[in-house]
């Protein structure tokens, strides 16, 4: 039987939740509670959580229960990721988190309109489904995954769509890091408006 997900965001297909260290992007090194929602139609071939794509595989969970779990940990930072979390209405989840004194971060491809109240929006656009302009202009951080040399041009195109204060990051795709990292280093040295993001959690062998 297919999930009947309410439009008000009180139930969400929760794939996993765990307390860890944010491994990449602007907030690298911060302790945070990760909430991974199931469901994604963006379909990146190098996605390392393809099991998140089918929302039907993940139990509908009360947003209040998720907030209760997140509140038990010392760091008051929550990262909502996926899958593609903006498939769902996240207004209720974020309002309850913030009411409990928890800062809200999201990692999104931007493929769907923005919902929720966010302290930090990380936009990681994908070639397969372009970001919504309303997400791009609200992003605090643009994080572009570099898989091929052509991705530098892709990154620059998206940098034109974010606000002037948005932080710009280039991140090597993990399986191509050996080939792409030297190119990224050179690129950032020549284009210092960009910074390098690394998946430090993989080096640290943590979730």
With respect to residue 6, please indicate whether it lies within any of the assigned structural domains. Answer: no
Handedness of CA 3, 39, 113, 62 (dihedral sign): positive
* Residue 196 domain boundaries: 11-204
- Percent residues over pLDDT 90 in the chain: 81
Residue 20 has pLDDT above 70, yes or no: yes
Domain count, the chain: 1
Read off the pLDDT of each residue in 24-42 and give the average, rounded to a whole number. Answer: 94
Beta bridge partners of 146: 172
Tens-digit pLDDT profile for residues 103-124: 999 999 999 999 999 999 999 9
With respect to residue 4, please indicate whether it lies within any of the assigned structural domains. Answer: no
Can you list the positions of beta strands (E) in the chain?
11-21, 31-37, 60-62, 77-81, 103-108, 120-123, 141-146, 167-172, 194-196
Residue 50 has pLDDT above 90, yes or no: no
With respect to residue 103, please indicate whether it lies within any of the assigned structural domains. Answer: yes
CATH of the domain at 111: 3.20.20.70
pLDDT given for residue 103 in this prediction: 98
With respect to residue 65, please indicate whether it lies within any of the assigned structural domains. Answer: yes
With respect to residue 1, please indicate whether it lies within any of the assigned structural domains. Answer: no
pTM of the prediction?
Answer: 0.94
Tens-digit pLDDT profile for residues 135-172: 999 999 999 999 999 999 999 999 999 999 999 999 99
Read off the pLDDT of each residue in 74-79 and give the average, rounded to a whole number. Answer: 98
Q: 22: closest CA among 37, 35, 13, 12? A: 35
Band of the pLDDT at 193, cuts 50, 70, 90?
Answer: very high
- Percent residues over pLDDT 70 in the chain: 98
pLDDT given for residue 197 in this prediction: 97
With respect to residue 164, please indicate whether it lies within any of the assigned structural domains. Answer: yes
With respect to residue 186, please indicate whether it lies within any of the assigned structural domains. Answer: yes
With respect to residue 3, please indicate whether it lies within any of the assigned structural domains. Answer: no
pLDDT given for residue 85 in this prediction: 97
């Amino acid at each position: 039987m297919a999930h009947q997900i309410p439009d008000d965001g009180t139930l969400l297909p929760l794939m996993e939740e765990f307390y860890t260290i944010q491994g990449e992007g602007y907030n690298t090194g911060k302790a945070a509670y990760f909430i991974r929602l199931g469901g994604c139609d963006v379909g990146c071939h190098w996605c390392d959580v393809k099991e998140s794509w089918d929302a039907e595989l993940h139990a509908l969970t009360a947003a209040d229960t998720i907030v209760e779990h997140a509140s038990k940990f010392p760091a008051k930072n929550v990262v909502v990721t996926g899958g593609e979390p903006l498939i769902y209405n996240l207004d209720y989840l974020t309002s309850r988190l913030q009411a409990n004194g928890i800062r809200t971060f999201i990692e999104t491809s931007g493929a769907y309109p923005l919902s929720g109240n966010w302290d930090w929006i990380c936009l990681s656009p994908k070639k397969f489904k372009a970001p919504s302009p309303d997400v791009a202009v609200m992003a605090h951080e643009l994080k572009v995954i570099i898989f091929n040399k052509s991705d530098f041009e892709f990154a620059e195109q998206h940098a034109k769509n974010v606000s002037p204060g948005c932080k710009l990051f280039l991140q090597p795709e993990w399986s191509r890091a050996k080939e792409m990292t030297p190119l990224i280093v050179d690129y950032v040295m020549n284009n210092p408006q960009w910074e390098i993001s690394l998946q430090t959690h993989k080096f640290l062998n943590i979730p």
